């Protein structure tokens, strides 16, 4: 067996190596940024800086519906949908649309609606939303309340 000594080894230029290293770093940073962006939207609520209350017996939402309605109640009682502050009438209209789009044969909504209230939000704001959901013209019976597990002291939920 003879070894071909006439072939020259493949040499990579320093410019190409530097370009490839820089490109790899940029792609890695973009990957990390996209992973962070998509992982912070766990509850589809698009609320920011809401401190959720503790819950000892809460269950993790294993299969969240990306199309469900999520209403956020801030500490001062401000209502938000998709990160935007909404008036009471706008929230009520959104509930009407949600109920109309997800009605079952019995006439009530069968899709889960998420309510994320700050732990210091006024109870009257929460009661108002629940009352609207139970009203005769809306009839949304399935509500989920966003909470945080007890082992996460001081956790602040940031929805984007």
Is the overall model pTM greater than 0.75, yes or no?
A: no
Look at residues 90, 67, 93, 65 and name the one whose alpha carbon lies nearest to residue 80: 90
What is the residue extent of each domain of the chain? 13-42, 54-58+65-149
Long-range CB contact pairs, 82-91, < 8 A, 24+: 82/46, 83/46, 83/47, 83/48, 83/159, 83/160, 88/128, 91/129, 91/132
Average pLDDT across each block of 10 residues of the chain; the chain has 160 residues. List them in order.
67 79 88 63 56 78 78 92 90 90 76 88 94 89 81 51
Token pair for 27: 């792609």
Tell which CATH architecture fits domain 54-58+65-149.
2-Layer Sandwich (3.30)
| CA atoms of 74 and 122, how far apart (whole Å) | 9
């Amino acid at each position: 067996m003879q070894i071909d000594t006439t072939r020259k080894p493949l040499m990579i230029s320093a410019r190409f190596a530097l370009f490839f290293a820089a490109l790899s770093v940029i792609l890695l940073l973009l990957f990390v940024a996209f992973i962070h962006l998509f992982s912070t939207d766990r509850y589809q609520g698009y609320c920011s800086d809401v401190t959720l209350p503790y819950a000892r017996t809460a269950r993790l939402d294993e299969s969240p519906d990306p199309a469900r309605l999520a209403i956020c109640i801030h500490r001062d009682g401000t209502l938000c949908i998709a990160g935007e502050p909404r008036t009471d009438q706008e929230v009520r209209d959104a509930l009407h649309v949600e109920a109309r789009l997800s009605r079952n044969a019995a006439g009530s909504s069968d899709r889960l609606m998420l309510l994320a209230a700050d732990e210091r939000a006024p109870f009257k704001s929460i009661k108002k939303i629940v009352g609207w959901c139970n009203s005769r013209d809306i009839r949304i019976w399935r509500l989920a309340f966003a909470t945080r597990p007890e082992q996460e002291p001081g956790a602040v939920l940031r929805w984007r």
